[in-house]
Amino acid sequence: MITAGEFRNGITMEYEGNIYTIIEFQHVKPGKGAAFVRTKIKNLKTGAVIEKTFRPNEKMPKAHIDRRDMEYLYADGDIFHFMDVETYEQVGLTEDQLDGALKFVKENNIVKILSHNGVVFGVEPPLFAELLITHTEPGFKGDTSSSATKPAVVETGATVYVPLFVEIDDKIKVDTRTGEYLSRA
């Protein structure tokens, strides 16, 4: 059990039958009245973010999230198949369960499958991905230190904004959390 007074960013808890992670929290001590904790919490199954206030002594059960390494195999229509690298057990997830997590993940990459009490609810991609540029507008000679960017399509089909000097068939490194270009690979 965890009290609202012990809240920290990233803690997962069970609340009203769902699993939430704390995005933001603030301990508030008004001049008049009792103290309270103002939070922004994200439902891990639906992705919805809500604002909620708690009394500091209010208790909730901590949620244990299992993270298993699995290999992304292939997509079959709207079902995405993953395989446990240790037991070779396979799992199929829908587009709704993935919530766009695979836009920078290629086949045969290792991802973390998130589950709670045996129910799979999401995928955590690796923090960085090295991807090949498949389409972009041509760059100009000398555009190496400019902060201007252009859209580029990577091999997974996602669009990344890259510097003007990046060309088709260049390999780039992308931050999968933000979708930002980091460097050439």
Type of residue found at 73: L
The CATH number linked to 150 is 2.40.50.140
What tokens appear for 106 in the block? 């290629």
Same domain, yes or no, for 6 and 37? yes
* Residue tagged 């959390």 (tokens): 177
Number of domains in the chain: 3
pLDDT (tens, 9 = 90+) of the chain, 185 residues, equals: 888 888 888 888 988 888 888 889 999 888 888 889 999 998 887 778 899 999 988 898 988 888 889 999 998 888 889 999 899 988 888 887 777 788 888 888 999 988 888 878 778 888 898 999 999 888 666 555 567 788 899 988 889 998 888 888 889 999 888 888 888 87
Contact status, residue 33 vs residue 58, Cβ threshold 8 Å: no
The CATH number linked to 46 is 2.30.30.30
The torsion region of residue 100 among left (phi > 0), alpha (psi -120 to 50) and beta comes to left
Same domain, yes or no, for 120 and 82? yes
Can you give the residue range of the structural domain that contains 50? 2-60
